[in-house]
Amino acid sequence: MHECLSFQGQTPLVLRDMGRIVDAAHPDVAFFAGRIVAAGDHDERLSAAMEQRFLTVFKLNFVRRSRTAHGRDDNLCGPLKKPLMIVGDELKLAAMRNCMRIARDVQATPRPPAWEAGVFREHCERWFDMANDGIYDKDWYEEEYASLGADAALLGRARGAAVRINPRYRIWTPEHTLMKVPPLFLEEQMEVFYGRLAELVIRAEKHYPSWGDTLEAMAYADLMTDGELRPWLDGCGRVATALVMWIARTLGAPLPLFAASKEVHKMSYRDLDKHRLYFLESIRRGEQECP
């Protein structure tokens, strides 16, 4: 079947198959086949270069979004937040080691058979574990989670339905967000977030090769993960980076490169439309700084 994309004036159209047959004995066909075979090595080099570009952009985004990657532990945004196990150069090395592990994991994570909330939950929790490997001690919040679990059990009896808590999620309520979701309701809100994100990705894939809807999916994933819900004990920006880069890669959209200043990145957090435009600007930045 032969099709080709053409134009009539400014209108794109596809010229459909007209019953044409390729004659393998024709010299032009033999010449073209030879060119295709010769191009194999070039395609392999191009593919390798694209994979290396992905790692480069991922690393830049990771560093630009994470204080941890700079060896700093000054993001004590809640009264119950505990300091990390390491700081300074040791923290930098651990963060960058984890960064490359996550980047390669994102590269190796294929499109799922179906876009469902559980898919995003599974990957995000895995990336959270990778991001914080060797950086914080999971047992530090044991007493706090025991107390939170008792509150969840009490609330569950009052509501007549179980209230789940997640040991990866924060145990304080951030003051700088608009939603201000308390820890007891994080699981509930995260399920809503994952479900809505699945819907956006389904719509984006339906409209491929246009990636306009992919911008909204990436912007929504980033805004909720690192902006409004901020669910993780530590590393919201790092998990958001992995999630955004996986969405872009899986849906075939150009890679976004975040602003060098985290403050610039956060300026559009309050509005999804503005954050979507920020991601469009980030794609342009990526094409300029990492062509």
pLDDT in tens, 256-282: 999 998 888 888 888 999 999 999 999
Share of the chain above pLDDT 70, in %: 95
Cβ atoms within 10 Å of 285's Cβ, excluding its own: 16
What residue ranges do the domains of the chain occupy? 58-289
pLDDT in tens, 9-26: 777 777 776 666 778 788
pLDDT in tens, 37-92: 776 677 788 888 999 999 999 999 999 999 899 888 775 555 678 888 898 999 99
149 confidence band (pLDDT: 50, 70, 90) = very high
SS3 (DSSP) at 9 = coil
- Return the sign of the alpha-carbon dihedral for residues 36, 42, 48, 51: negative
CATH topology for 58-289? Answer: Fic-like fold (1.10.3290)
